[in-house]
Structure 1
Amino acid sequence: MQSKNLKNIIVVDDDRSIRVVISTALTRAGYNVKSSGTAAGMRRLVESDFADILITDVGLPDGDALDVLPKLQHMKPKLKIIVMSARTTLLTAVRAKKKGAFEYLPKPFDLDELLNLVSNTFSEHNNIEIKDKITLPKNIYDLGPVVGKSMAMQEIYKLISRLVNTNLNLLILGESGTGKKLIAKSIHDLSSINNKLFLNLSMDVFNDYSLDNLLQNIQKNHNKDTQSFACLNACSILIRNVSESSLQQQKNLLDFIEEDFSPYLEKTNDFIKPRIIALTKKNIFNEVEKGLFREDLFYRLNVVPIKIPSLKDRFEDISDLTISFLNRYSSEKNIHRFITHEGINLLKEHSWPGNIRELKNVIERICLLSSSEEIQTSLIKEVISEDRLFIDETEEDNLEIYFKKYLSKYFINFDENLNIDNLHSSFISKIEKPLIESTLKLFRGNQIKASKCLGFNRNTLRTKINNYGIEVIKKRKL
């Protein structure tokens, strides 16, 4: 038996080439490595008290490795487990964490990333507490509703896996149509308290705040029996468009977050305060700096921020999302449709300003309009260009006319009694930010040329870049 003073690692993967590559890299880094290609071999190596760390794939020829992890953890409580998987789904990340994994690593990965993770794992001295309180059906999130294999979504999955069984307040940021509500609901559904209420509220329920009023609003909006304050025990409260609110609404929400429920509860000591999951399309920190959002509320909500990438930042997921929407349409309508590789490439080339919601709508439209199982690329081109045709060419050329029509729609539901004293700044920012972003892109991130083109000095440009949170990407001209 090898000395336990050495840093010993077990590598398990049914692909021999992967085992060899990982084992070789770890051996060269100074670790003592043994490997296996099966779940049975993995168990024998763990029973031999060989390893400090186990690195295992999920899918093994004689079983699912995640089903074995709790037994291994019980057998060797100090064993730290790194799960790697090509099944890059939300459920895999969450299941791995619930089964006692120290870390989840989606394939493909860089060997340096694995070596750094192993090094960090050895420096982590805290034992892992096994939390396998609930059993998740293996097919809930394998194919949806949260879809994506891109690196951007993998980071989201890993973060969610750490959050599902906490009660921390969350702030989910992302453009309209990126799936913020879906992520919030997934966090609730995958938690160990998914039998509790999931309430979807707007900031309007905090117009005139008291617990009684809030419960009445919840009952009205959700048709739930919420006469007892105990219904709020461990529930999740999603709050839409939290940044689109008045300062009074923000104060009332803060009062609710800081509410002491104990006087209202009878004979219960296990009350868990509701978790707040706030959604926003805006950079709230910028709103705080402008005085439009309370700083104290921002820090109460921003305990764990989750930034949902736009579709243009995860275009690798367009294929999987398209297949998911096609399958959903086929299931609901009992009509089979498919898109060729050429059609998928066409969808990838589109800019998708409406994000996932726009893609979903386009897929539904082309399925409806297609007269054959194979959706023609000509139909895809026609449908994705339709939205642009709704804007009259004269309006596109005349920004003033277009903006006047936009303002007319905006003021339809405008409340002149609200305390709004910076309307000018609000609308200028909507125009100025994309103008600066587009100009920087035109000059490939060169701020000197961009500032000259925009008509102000470089220091002013830098200030505006910081205020708007603009990412400057420098590209060399080929």
Structure 2
Amino acid sequence: MSSILIVDDDDQLRQSFQKLLTEEGYEVRTAATGEAGLEAVRQAVPDLVIMDVRMPGMSGLDAFQAMREIEPKLPVIIMTAFGTTETAIEATKRGAFDYILKPFEIPEILRQIEQALQAGRFMRSRVEMDVRPESAVPDALIGRSEAMQQVYKAIGRVAPTDATVLIRGESGTGKELVARAIYHHSLRAHKPFLVINCVAIPETLLESELFGYEKGAFTGATTRRVGKIEQANGGTVFLDEIGDMPFNIQAKILRLLQEKSIERLGGREPIPVDVRIIAATNRDLEASLASGHFREDLYYRLKVVTIELPPLRERKGDAALLCDYFLARFSAEMGIDNPGITEEAKALIESNPWPGNVRELANTLQKALIFSRGYPIRPEDISKAVLGTSGQGQVNNESADKILRQWVRESLAAGIRQDIFAFFMDRLTRILITEALDLTKGNRSKAAKLLGISRPTLHDKMEKCGLTEPGEEGQG
């Protein structure tokens, strides 16, 4: 359970914030002053601090600086009213994870909290390499195949340097874990590590997210905002899915690599930055070069050092090791005894090609564990987790499809609703969410994992479906 410290002199905000985050599954402490917040961090460093910038006595900025001296990798979200945004911007430049303007929307702050907690975990939680499979460490590269031994060696060679690294491999092979392992073994390990997913952020927002913007740069830019690259000054930036980066932004990344400087949107002066770039892609960059979707000059700048991650089907013997690791890890996370797995089920796992690689195997084992009822996982449990059925996958899927099609056809023919598309989407969403919550006994974190979405996304969809409690909505 992640721990969050809220520091604000507004009693009502502290109490309502504490109630909300406790219901979201976080362990929450509060403090009414900067001095009290600093003392709380001294007693026990939380996973995240959310702090007002203007308070009686010690200011939020001074408290932030003092907290960072205690734990340099502690993520802090600054809350600010419009009139104090310059102070919040300064805190961001000094390493605060982000700032949010009051009043704020619950889904927005929940998303920022999840991102900040992830960033803090990435910085503090070391990625172990070639550990014992039965260990339950949260982040590890597991595998003893020759292909993985080459990966370990490459990480060891490149980590102590400042070279740009390009990590290539299919989806689900562990590119992010390799990037974090390089960071943790680098000379910049005590500095920030920020992840930017070039696909997850809409193209219209990606440039401002990376480089920031000046006040008045575009409609709605009412204050200056520091970008993630400037925020990570001195540290490491991981550009995930760089093969999908828009062509116009590629030019700015090239300038960063060549000149060690950026320009905010709407800015006129270059801003020097010192960051190490690690990039990753599952794309065929050579094909993207040929089609004109990727810059040739950036391609050669990025591939100073290239680490190729093998797909799981080419890692002989590693699937069984990963199986033992994930069962030990997920059992520990769920607080249950590890039920183990039969040799027949392991043989089935080894024979599966796993097109989704390690990620698909992990998801399959997690589902099998949730429904195992304490007995060793059997081949039929693996089949059910992969196909969604117990051995009769194709037949049952076709039957379910037939029932669903009949329901849709009858509703369309009846013509009783004009918003039929939205109606069906809402009904299916509600069914999925309620079933996931029922299976996980109301645990939202486990339900979100089961659905393959983040907890804030689950919260958003629950609100839209009217599945939240009356007191859970809107906070200002």
State the TM bucket, normalised to the shorter chain: 0.3 to 0.5
Higher-Rg structure is 1
Tell me the TM-score normalised to structure 2 length. 0.46
Tell me the TM-score normalised to structure 1 length. 0.46
